[in-house]
Amino acid sequence: MKKLLLVLLMAATVAGAAGCDSAERDGAAPRTPASAAPTGGDPSAPAPQVVPTPEPEQITLTAGRAVVAGVRSDVVRFKDRIVYRFEGDDHDPSKVNCTADCLIVWPPLLTDGTKIELSGVDPKLVGTVTREDGFTQVTLAGWPLYLFKSDRTADDTLGEGVGGNWSVIRPDGKPAIKK
């Protein structure tokens, strides 16, 4: 019985991470933007949704090469980590659909408003989208950008294909591996 319980628990954990519903925190602090802070008044009003997000920061995107699912491909990196797009997001126009617990496993690239620095990435393809939580996320060819929490080295592409929804993104905004 203990083995069955352990197997079920492990399956639920993997399924949650793949589908952006993981409850794993790993250092991510719940935050709400200042615009969502309670304003006083009606105590029966619903509290703002607490969403785990990294701090907005200066963003530098660089183009490089990596092996993705056994294929050498052009990729985009941020802080020497591979960048991803979520196939469940909208890109024309940009809209973020990875929210709440999804952000624990897939930290978004949030800009602090300073100029986005680029190396090997076409500036015409880089933009931003204002998320429902009020933060500004960097986009490439309209796709909001993320990191994968389990990637630890510059060449890790462990998030490629997770749940059939995540793609390493190339400098042209296309997925490194066609879905």
Instruction: Answer for the pair 123, 114: CB distance below 8 angstroms, yes or no.
Output: no
Task: Give pLDDT tens digits for 79-97.
Answer: 999 999 999 999 999 999 9
Q: Give the pLDDT band of residue 47 (cuts 50, 70, 90).
A: low
Mean pLDDT of the 102-111 span: 96
Q: Give the pLDDT band of residue 145 (cuts 50, 70, 90).
A: very high
Which tokens sit at 79? 């802080």
Task: Give pLDDT tens digits for 20-42.
Answer: 533 333 333 344 444 443 344 45
Which tokens sit at 161? 């294909």
Which tokens sit at 46? 């619903």
Instruction: Answer for the pair 83, 75: CB distance below 8 angstroms, yes or no.
Output: yes
The pLDDT of residue 36: 41
Distance CA 92, CA 142 (A): 6
- Amino acid found at 65: R
C-alpha dihedral over 172, 90, 129, 84, to 10 degrees?
Answer: -50
Distance CA 121, CA 127 (A): 12
Distance CA 78, CA 151 (A): 12
Distance CA 137, CA 105 (A): 16
Distance CA 60, CA 111 (A): 10
Q: Who wins on pLDDT, 119 or 48? A: 119
Task: Give pLDDT tens digits for 56-84.
Answer: 999 999 999 999 999 999 999 999 999 99
pLDDT of 114 higher than 50? yes
Handedness of CA 179, 88, 91, 37 (dihedral sign): negative
User: Judging by DSSP bridges, how do beta strands 136-140 and 81-82 pair with one another?
Assistant: unpaired
